[in-house]
Chains A and B, each alone.
Chain A
């Protein structure tokens, strides 16, 4: 049995990742619609129902994502006659795959020890994990720009070009904003970063990224929202003006772009949790139980600590998903020149300054 355990564990961690990404993406579309309805004093989607006996079971509209998928899968797939069919069909895949595989380096729980062997709750523990995240997520721009290009539609082309320009611009600030954290924790490996965030500053404050690098948190969150092309940075879509790069897509090909967007929301939430909010760490919870800085504590078994920590990760993940949805329905859209000037003239210099100051402080602390 012990021989098979590592393979079974691979299934567990891969399945865990896919369950988080695919299992949450559907409910997130529901949450987005339902939450926007609440914000705007509407009722929102609540018609889809399953009839059991004489009773209709509506589940607060939770069946809508299901009904949507069935609709998208069975819808006629129209293709513009002048479109480049090969690139047109390829683009949704190029858009979805980076969103799916970025999560591989995010640890969604602490190592589980079975018979003295540690099994990680992380699909890939790469030495250059954060670089991997940036490398893979930088590929998403191909899906978007190819979709705009291959559609042979002026509005789609506009959307594709806007998206490409915006994603290139904000990638720089996004990468630089993280480097301060990398300097402070001295590692590029997300699991080691989460481990380091279990330390305490001044004996009581958890050494979470947001306390160590508050400016980097704001910079990264802004850049990540722009990278994800959500309001207030939804110039590539601008549903009231150009519809965007997927205007010519129908059926499940559109569905894949839609899915990619929500999976990216989850990935951004996971990244924020991991880098800035201690990942699966709970303040004062050590490997053997709670140890409070004001004295006292509570001993817990390994299993209980593991379950608590996975729960903490999921809770933080859900919070940041919710937070991103709320932002979307709170803020108005930027103008295009404002987006560009924010990216290049504000975020980039500020993140560079943040990096230089952090480097100086780290050097001074080590000296």
Chain B
């Protein structure tokens, strides 16, 4: 078992990714599914920072740039997802995934 920082960071981010995956698959509440997807996005950002810090040398701020753009896209995704949840709730009066099975409004 190596105790270098980079594998530890990667293990941390993969554990976070799998937690988000389990949450997105197991729960039937739409908000919790969206939060699981947010956790998976955050795990990807952790990988960017880990490789920026410990990986082969690149230009100094590359990883930081990647994570900032990724955070911006994740924020847009969260806003659109929650707006979709509110729109679905207005039609179905429920945010359970199993009950949102009609295309007709």
A and B associate in one complex: no
